[in-house]
Amino acid sequence: MTAPITPLPGGALADPNAARAHARAQGGTVVEAMPILPPVATDLPAGVAAEDLLWEETVAPGGYATRRLPRGARLRLIDKAGDAAASLQIFNAGMPTERLNMADTVKVQWNAYLGPGKLLLSDMGRVLMSIVEDTAGTHDCFSGVSNAATNAARYGNGANSGPHPNGRDRFLLGAAKHGLSRRDVHPAITLFKGTRIEADGGITPVVGPFAPGRHVLLRAEMEVIIVIANCPHVLDPRPEYCSTPLRLTAWRGPVTPVDDPIRTATPEGLRAFLNVEDLYRR
């Protein structure tokens, strides 16, 4: 439920006491796109205790979110209205120079159309996160995200503070909250929006809109920093800035066991998990 924020009467900002009273009066206001503190969710999977909930937030169209998640955490992303685009940056929280590498993610798994059981790999051959569930089936490993220039060309304005914010600048804001900078922003995967590579090498966007409620469940195989931008896909052909709310829920979970079917599915994947286990053995 969205509650409007009462505007401050004209000129009242000149009175600090009035400004403080107005600000405090907004306490308890609830809008759709905001973090919930403390986190509360009524639809956690069976067996997940309420005290294990780590994060509950809805990201506005054009917005971003970021969080540090422990090893074993689950992160569920829900495309609430069918037009969200969840572009992800993922870092090793203990050494952020290690981060998601889309080229290796595709190459090592012999697959560019990721889904359940697939891995998001780092540039050091380790599994950052695994895809445990996926009811969307439309994701993009190729195109990256929009920037100020692409959004200005399509929508007339691509500024971070403007009406049509872009994915790259949203990543910069999220990365900065962890002491990272422009050089740390790397190629991203986008969930809920897909691309199809044609026989002639062309890229066809598959951007919907889709049915509401599709979800992806990720499992953190390392302690990670994740930055998520919810901006329209860079190849979305629609002239309108099409984006809808993205819901994020994260909870604690066990570290992946040695007999986990995702871990043991392929020799390449198993090696990436062994690399993770070697890191945490030190």
pLDDT digits (tens, 9 = 90+) for 237-246: 999 999 999 9
Helix (H) or strand (E) holding 151: helix 148-155
SS3 162: coil
Residue carrying structure tokens 């819901």: 247
pLDDT given at position 29: 80
Provide the 8-state DSSP code for 183. Answer: G
Question: 204 lies in a domain?
Answer: yes
pLDDT given at position 26: 80
The tokens for 92 are: 């090793």
CA distance 226 to 146: 18
The tokens for 72 are: 């074993």
Question: 43 lies in a domain?
Answer: no
Question: 145 lies in a domain?
Answer: yes
Instruction: Give which of 124, 110, 129 is closest to 275, Cα–Cα.
Output: 124
CA distance 143 to 279: 31
The tokens for 208 are: 């919907």
Which residues in the chain show pLDDT less than 50?
1-2
Name the residue range of residue 78's domain. Answer: 56-281
CA distance 46 to 70: 20
Instruction: Give which of 82, 113, 118 is closest to 207, Cα–Cα.
Output: 82
Question: 131 lies in a domain?
Answer: yes
Task: Give residue 58's Cα distance to chain centre.
Answer: 11
pLDDT given at position 207: 95
Phi-psi category of 191—alpha, beta or left, where left has phi over 0 and alpha has psi -120 to 50? beta
Question: 64 lies in a domain?
Answer: yes
| Count of the separate structural domains present in the chain | 1
pLDDT given at position 184: 96
Question: 170 lies in a domain?
Answer: yes
Residues near 181 by beta carbon (within 8 Å), at least 6 away in sequence: 172, 175
The tokens for 101 are: 């590498």
Provide the 8-state DSSP code for 271. Answer: H
Question: 143 lies in a domain?
Answer: yes
Question: 10 lies in a domain?
Answer: no
CA distance 101 to 123: 5
Long-range own/partner contacts, residues 177-184 (CB < 8 A, 24 or more apart) = 177/66, 178/66, 178/68, 178/91, 178/96, 178/225, 180/91, 180/96, 184/91, 184/96, 184/99
- In angstroms, the Cα distances linking 58 to 63, 84, 117, 197, 237 are 9, 11, 26, 31, 25
